Amino acid sequence: MKNNKKSSNKGKVVLCQMASFAFTILILALVGLIIPLRPSYSESEKRELAKFPKLSIKSLTSGDFFDEFSTWYSDTYPGRETLVGINSKIKSIYGINSKGDDALQIHGEVIKGDDIPDEYNPDATEPTQEEPSTEDYDKIEVNGDTQSLGAVFVVGNRAFEYYNFNQTQANNYIATINKVADDLQGKAKVYDMIVPTSIGITLPDSLMGNINSSDQKKAIDYINSGLNDNVIKVPIYSALMNHRSEYIYFNTDHHWTALGAYYAYNEFANAAGIKAHSLDSYEKVEFTGFLGSFYNDTGKIPALEANPDTIIAYRPNPSATFTYTDNKGNKINWKIINDVTNYPASVKYSCFIAGDNPYSVITNPDITDGSSILVIKESFGNALIPFLVENYGTVHIIDYRYYSGSITKFANDNSVDTVLYINNVSAIRNKNLVSKLGQIS
């Protein structure tokens, strides 16, 4: 009888524990549905979070509503960033994440890229691979949609992003740049600069042959082979390779440093026939404690946290004025290089030209020859643009991800004599980004 009572008591305890667990899960689920508690912007990821999906018969029958609801629910759960950080800390305590210099970790899905032809092939019109769909370091909002670009590869205390070539999107990019160059022929010179990412330049050679990442040099050569004679190519791959041992890419973030951008600026100056100013002609400033996109999108792993980046920026002519127009149409006077000493660790890259805005303009009163340049860029362009201030009276800046006008019309209306496209090679594989670039051509 005593044993039966003990078994009965144990059973009751188990049932109570299960009920408590189920009740806790239910409460957490209900908390997640309280919209006022949900964040709408992620400071660590520097992006707008997923929005509640629109309900329609089509979205219900196709299942898209439920997929988008799931994304919204997980993306905006109250306290998500804190929970992710706690999860990473717990994994570290139990040795789930290695921290040694030789530790290799993959975060996200690695997708094989298309084969890269030796020369431009205009016949690739259908995608031969699925668009990446996993969480990734560079969550860029385009027309309200969050896009992912691949997987993150952690090597000790540094991180890199995998690159998978997409021939269809490369061809679409080529067509867009060629169209703008043709439309502006005789009015403005069009330059195209394709920036390799860190995995194509600074990843140790001993690892390069063993990873599923497309050859960035070959991909860039392919794109350049398709650009017509009206486009002036700015080759920067070799210049960056020549400086690969220097601090030209961040360890915890996907961007290049201002030093890497400076070497690219030199190559643009050579192509454009202008004088490249020396680094010591700029005021050098430093901002420590930068933990970028890789850190956040790998769950804030301790190995990267222990290796924070320092942002080194170079201020141009202090007499130059800078104004940006935000997404709401507000015009704001700002600094070309802003002091971000007290900014959160994840957003310090915004020291360059106030981050990403639809349109910005810099005016250098010391240059009175009427020269002007229009830079069409994504965030990689931010670190390079300050160097151009010493060469042009006016620097127009369009971030094509947020701009809704026409590049050709803008260049004509503003008598722009030079147009420079700056895109990192990873952006050129993304369907939505390349499509957006084409829409505003």
pLDDT-derived band of residue 102, with 50, 70 and 90 as boundaries? very low
User: Which residue in the block uniquely carries the two structure tokens 């949609």?
Assistant: 145
What's residue 422's pLDDT? 98
Per-residue pLDDT tens for 20-57?
Answer: 767 777 776 666 666 666 776 555 444 456 667 777 77
CA distances to 23, 288, 398 from 367, rounded to whole Å, are 69, 33, 21
What's residue 56's pLDDT? 76
Pairing of strands 331-334, 145-147: unpaired
Q: Is the model's pLDDT at 82 over the cut of 70? A: no
> What token pair was written down for 84?
């992710």
What's residue 100's pLDDT? 40
Which H or E run contains 192?
A: strand 189-195
Q: Are 160 and 152 a contacting pair, CB within 8 Å?
A: yes
**Mind giving me the DSSP string for 397-436?**
EEETTT--S-HHHHHHHTT--EEEEEEETTGGG-HHHHHH
Q: Which residue from 258, 195, 254 is spatially nearest to 386, judged by alpha carbons?
A: 258
Whole-number Å distance between alpha carbons of 315 and 251: 23
Per-residue pLDDT tens for 271-324?
Answer: 999 999 999 999 999 999 999 999 998 889 999 999 999 999 999 999 999 999
| Top mean-pLDDT range of 58-62, 80-84, 101-105, 177-181 | 177-181
Per-residue pLDDT tens for 50-75?
Answer: 667 777 776 677 666 775 676 667 66
Beta bridge partners of 192: 233, 421
Q: Is the model's pLDDT at 202 over the cut of 90? A: yes
Q: Are 255 and 379 a contacting pair, CB within 8 Å?
A: yes
Which H or E run contains 239?
A: helix 237-242
Domain ranges of the chain: 37-78, 145-439
Q: List CB contacts of 22: < 8 A, sequence separation 6 or more.
A: none
Q: List CB contacts of 280: < 8 A, sequence separation 6 or more.
A: none
> What token pair was written down for 63?
């299942």
Lowest average pLDDT, out of 143-147, 188-192, 301-305, 400-404, goes to 143-147
Pairwise pLDDT comparison (210 vs 314), residue with the higher score = 314
What's residue 41's pLDDT? 57
> What token pair was written down for 45?
């990821």
Q: Are 231 and 376 a contacting pair, CB within 8 Å?
A: no
Number of H helices, E strands in the chain: 14, 17
State the chain's mean pLDDT as an integer: 83
Lowest average pLDDT, out of 82-96, 107-121, 205-219, 366-380, goes to 82-96
What's residue 145's pLDDT? 27
Report the half-sphere exposure of 47 (CA within 13 A, side-chain side). 25
What's residue 36's pLDDT? 66
CA distances to 188, 227, 373, 378 from 348, rounded to whole Å, are 34, 35, 26, 17
What's residue 208's pLDDT? 80
